[in-house]
Chains A and B, each alone.
Chain A
Amino acid sequence: MTTADHRDQLIFEQGTPGQRGYSLPAQDVPSAPLEGAIPEGLVRREVSGFPEVTEVGLVRHFTRLSTWNYGVDTGMYPLGSCTMKYNPKVNEAAARIRGFAELHPLAPDDVAQGALALMHALVQMLGEITGLPAVTLQPAAGAHGELTGMMMIRKHLTTRDGNPRKVVLIPDSAHGTNPASAHFCGYEVRQITSCARGNLSVSALAEAMTPDVAALMLTNPNTLGMFEDEICEAAQIVHAKGGLVYCDGANMNALIGRARPGDFGMDIMHLNLHKTFSTPHGGGGPGSGPVVAVKEMEPYLPTPVVVATRDGMHLDYERPLSVGRVKAFHGNFGMLVRAYAYIRSLGAEGIRKTAENAVLNANYVRARLRGTYEIPYDRLNMHEVIFSDHKQNEYGITTLDIAKRLIDLGFHPPTIYFPLIVHGALMVEPTESEGLAEMNRFVEAMQQIAEEAKTQPEMLKKAPVTTRRSRFDEATAARKPVLRWKAGL
């Protein structure tokens, strides 16, 4: 008889009635009667469907799940535009210090001076790193920062001209969240086509830049891994017509210590702390997306803002021009502690070296794989480089096959099919936390796959074969969604 592998069981299918994985503090007060204390019909009889499992059962279950995952600590994670760099362990220790982890967000300022001082110092450091000194730490993620930044632009224009304008210009190479964020801030989106070099077309921008346009929203370096080398001209065009330039800071790790967005005309940008400043992304989150802006935008920052006064640090809520609050409490403070620890452990020189090595590694991969894979924009790139499956298509092999085969060879696949303007894109971002030896292993794996594409394409189609599960039928999963477990099904 074949029995189902017990390792396939969900937590609901485990345990036995009567088992438990918790213990409670002693009952040191008399029990209060429920009767009359809770409205009729609102007392719950049972939390049905919840499991009953011992601690050891729980630990084995979740430990087992962890072994089915790939993380940065498992190996190289060359995920372009997502910057999956090493997460230093001291950051985890820092965030768990009791005075940080157990501090209540509504504790009076008097007993939160250390936390507020850390936030204040981080504000100063992010302002210096970007050249944009007005900073909020409140947004919970990069896309949340984008939305906050667009709200600040809207408020600024409304205050300045009495007119928020209607349109936001976005290059066709943009992250998908950019148009969505502009839209959720009440703007209409107009796309600008990139030029043949993979950069923003300044002439297309000049044409699109009407008095209706509130802002240009772009990523620099862009999602092709290229620095927008006409950025100063672009900023001038936008500014001359009274618009603002929003910079998506997703790729700030390429510039840090080498160039500052404030110096090349950006008015406002968000930072992804989990990308540039190494806070771990936890299987999808949390993130943290501070917004930095030119001094003129300071009045519009979300409330509250940390201010230093003679008698210590305070949260300032009295800001009449603020866009308002974008999240309960003060942002993802635990992530702020990690980012602060990261910056303090590197200092100015170390920070600059992170960018230098990120750029060095990405260019090295480009140089080594030239000839093996098509490189749509083959010139000096920044922290990431894009290949396409053009050469492999000849043998029926696609980007997806290449990505899945990389799994068998021990690597997390790169970002695939993004940016949308490159057909069959494979976007590689090694980050600075990989070294030459690892770059070489990655290059060899990619070369091996290119060879296999010619000689045994059917094998690539089956990849991955070393994993617990093979490729999934995602179309059926979306057509007939099963989003939860139910007893007896």
Chain B
Amino acid sequence: MTHPYIPNTDQDARLMLEAIGVPSIDALFEPIPAAVRLHRELDLPPALSEPDLLAHLGALAAQNADSSKVATFLGAGAYRHFAPCFIDQLLLRSEFYTAYTPYQPEIAQGTLQAIFEFQTLVCQLMGTDIANASMYDGSTAMTEAAMMACRMTKRDRVVVARTVHPHYREVLDTYAKNLGLTIVEAGFEADGTIDRAALADAARGAAAVILQYPNFFGVIEDPREAVEIAKAAGALSVAVVTEPVAMGLLVPPGSLGIDIVAGEMQAFGAPVGFGGPYCGVMAASEKCMRQMPGRFVGEATDTEGRKGYVLTLATREQHIRREKATSNICTNSGLMALAATMFMAAYGKQGLPALARLNFDKAHYAREAIVRAGGKAGVTARFAGPFFNEFVVGGLGDASAAQKRLLGSGLVAGLPLGRYYPELQDSLLVCVTELNGVEDIDRLAAALAG
């Protein structure tokens, strides 16, 4: 019997075997030594019909906390924002999502133009000269930025602030270990910003100085100081942006002299989706163009003189330079980049600042409400530094236990920081976006108070 995804019938197969000149399907597999052919059926769960499959998946999904069941105040590199409905409907245009890498530009102008628009929007958002066609995610983008800085400076030491997302630093460590690079971390001050003295000290002889903007604690670091420190040390400055909505309110890193921006664009149109797929991106000043990993789309002219778009600068890539390539990456996050493109175009010049402002207002209301309600119980704002839509509350005793307690009231309170920062065992990283209503915020404030 055929399966809905497999058109050949047994009769078709017989005709085809005859044309090939072999007696059976089995005979097609004879190039595989008999001893290592599989002589049994795989041990897999039984096939499910489409309705049964959906029922089964629905039951699995029902065990998970989504926004219909709980009020979530988690951010930490994955942000819940409203994406206009047209975005997902257009992502489901199968000419977009069932297409491959646009190696044949004549029949991929849709993908190519959309990426060109993405590159432009990212440059405008981040204040940079160039941007690539996207990366796997923010953590790998940051790591690639560090490696690029090492190539460009011919140095092998990278300085990264401890206020950069812990997962990003873990990924950097993993890559560095295998390449013999040294990673030095600079700690943070009582207000939640980088310890500048430590940073300046570590920067000497380094390839890159990496900070996050706003940082992992939600605190708005001033990149200008890091830029000066990096410049003085002959290092490149790298800013990580995990919450691009903040760029609606903040002067972008490229305009502040940052050399390389390693960003995560998930907030723009991709669901939090238990961690992926997301949309990393790398943007930078012009001087990085031929060292930057990943794909680029560029303008081109066809034989009739008409303008269009092609993948370009491919000589840096693995399919040509093989072991000399600038990276081994041969994927971008095309569909997520398309979502981000539509998101940026939809919110546009007026909407992105408005969205950013709403996030800012709600988060500031929330921190005040939490501290006011919890003050007596010792709940505090952990850091005094300026913040955007995330902040740390301390004084919770064991923050993990506090988070667990709140689950019972349908609240996912925030991220307990003890796993990543042992000194912040009593603290939660709380994120508030435009999707957290005031009633839920007040409920969280009351619940955290006791």
Contact = CB atoms under 8 A, between A and B. Distances in A.
Interface string B422-433: 000000000000
B277 interface: yes
A329 interface: yes
A179 B328 CA distance: 8
Interface string A64-104: 11111111111001010010101110101111111111111
A114 B106 contact: no
A353 interface: yes
Interface string A342-377: 011111111111101101110110111000000000
Given A84-B100, A112-B64, A407 B106 contact: yes
A341 interface: yes
Contacts of A114: 59-64
B188 interface: no
A474 B300 CA distance: 7
B334 A66 contact: no
B345 A349 contact: no
Contacts of A462: 303
A378 B315 CA distance: 32
Contact of A70 (B62, B107, B147, B434): B107
A162 interface: no
A44 B252 contact: yes
A326 interface: yes
Contact of B277 (A140, A326, A464): A140
Interface in A21-72: 21-25, 27-32, 34, 37-39, 41-44, 46-53, 55, 58-59, 61-72
A477 B90 CA distance: 29
Contacts of A357: 6, 8, 13
Contacts of A180: 318, 321-323, 325, 327-328
Contacts of A82: 100
Interface stretch (B137-145, B229-237, B373-381): B137-145
Contacts of A51: 345, 348-349
A13 B295 CA distance: 24
Contacts of B349: 17, 46-48, 50-52
B32 A62 contact: no
B189 interface: no
B42 interface: yes
Interface residues of B, number: 204
A25 B435 CA distance: 7
A196 interface: no
Given A29-B441, A380-B22, A11 B322 contact: no
Contacts of B5: 86, 88, 278, 345-346, 350, 354, 432-433
B328 A183 contact: yes
Contacts of A99: 58, 60-64, 66
B9 to A, nearest CB: 8
Interface in B298-345: 298-304, 306-308, 310, 312-315, 317-325, 327-336, 338, 341-342, 344-345
Contact of B180 (A186, A329, A477): A186
Interface size range of chain A in the complex: 35 or more
B99 interface: yes
A341 B57 contact: yes
Contacts of A74: 94-95, 98
A477 B64 contact: no
B101 A281 contact: yes
Given A151-B174, A333-B276, A435 B7 contact: yes
A325 B3 contact: no
Interface string A177-200: 101111111100100000000000
A22 B373 CA distance: 34
A351 B42 contact: yes
Contact of A484 (B86, B131, B301): B131
A189 B323 contact: yes
A53 B168 CA distance: 35
B223 to A, nearest CB: 9
Given A87-B98, A102-B66, A485 B174 contact: no
Contacts of B134: 285
Contacts of B348: 15, 20-22, 50-53
B110 interface: yes
B347 interface: yes
A163 interface: no
A123 B21 CA distance: 39
Which 4 A/B pairs are nearest by Cβ-Cβ distance? A435-B7, A99-B61, A329-B275, A347-B47
